[in-house]
Amino acid sequence: MSKREPARTEGFRRILRAPLFGKLALAGGVLVIGAGVGGFVLADALAELFGSGPALALWSGVVALLVLLNGALVRLALDPIRSIEDAARRIDAGDESARIPLSPMADRESERIRILFNGMLDRLELTHRNHLEMADLLQEAEEEERRRIADRLFSDPAQLLSASLLDLRRTRHLLGRDSPPDPEELDMARTGIDGARTQVLGALEAIQGIARGLRPPELDELGPTAALRGLARNLEAQAAFRIRVEGDDVDGWLDERGSVALFRIVRDGLRSVARESIFEPLTVHLAGSSKGVRAELRGGGTLRSEDGTAVSRMLSQARLAGGEVEFGCGGATPGPLLILTLPARPDLTRSRPAPPLP
């Protein structure tokens, strides 16, 4: 192959990849120039050789050939546009894998459109895949939450109510006989009623505890800071170590979704901590600004790595609220066990720092 052939090939490619307007203008110019030159040069010669009739027919054939040539050039020039149209039609039909192929006729503008269009489709496909993964995580987290609630309902309220039914059944048997009960049987009936009352109250308290763990009334009435304080007190009553909430008062910095995410992620984080020392308290440190809220879980302990469902639930809740959650090692390694960042309300315009907790 000679050195001239690559140069010719490159020059031909440049012509093919010329702008669309240039190719259309070139096609029209070829038609006009060819028709004009042929008309002036060949008209007389053809008439003398073949006569006026055959000359007209021959000239008509030349014009028709030029028209076909122009149409072929225009069709080639519009090939990138047809590729975009075909890809758009396939996407509209539900084919998410459709992409615009590389065309040798594409000019710079068409090539930029192809790159932008395919890049947009890649991002949409990635977003759709992320949404499907998030939906799976949410479904798994919801099922795990339902299982946990069902276990708590069966373990505490259901057992207490079953015991109260047994006491009431024995009391009804004592008081439902035809003969009047003796003093000892009356005492037994009173004891059964008192026991049933105590068990029903215990079941109600357990149900209230479950409801408070799902969504405490302080979250709506007083804000997320007070809700986290109440959560710390409740968990302290169940465990043998202290939990402190310190830092800024972040009430008013988050919208509804952010406040719920803050409470639930911190709650799941506290529940997932495996304690290594009962003497060092767990600390929830809050920091608020016009950019958002940052919550850190610190203290002696480690996040249980086997609690994958809780981790998935925290990740999905943070994403839905527009935030992020990171997990640390804890234990002997310095640093927070959990770091949660959530964006501030869209309408928040304050720039001063949040007030510290009293």
Delimit the domains of the chain by residue range. 4-77, 156-214, 223-358
Per the CB < 8 A criterion, the answer to whether 113 and 88 are in contact is no
Q: Alpha-carbon distance 265 to 140, whole Å?
A: 16
Q: What is the per-residue pLDDT for 246?
A: 92
Token pair 């406040």 in the structure block, residue: 259
94 token code pair: 């539900």
Q: What is the pLDDT of residues 146-159, one digit of tens each?
A: 777 777 777 778 88
Per DSSP, what are the bridge partners of residue 340?
295, 325
Q: The CATH number of 223-358 is which of 3.40.640.10, 3.10.129.10, 3.30.565.10, 3.40.50.2300?
A: 3.30.565.10
Instruction: Report the run of H or E that residue 340 belongs to, with start and end.
Output: strand 338-343
Spans in the chain with pLDDT lower than 70: 1-27, 29-60, 62-63, 66-67, 70-71, 77, 105-107, 137-138, 141, 178, 212-213, 240, 274-279, 304-308, 329-334, 348-358
Write the pLDDT tens digit of every residue in 20-64.
Answer: 656 666 667 666 666 666 665 666 666 666 556 666 666 667 667
Q: Cα 13 from chain centroid? A: 44
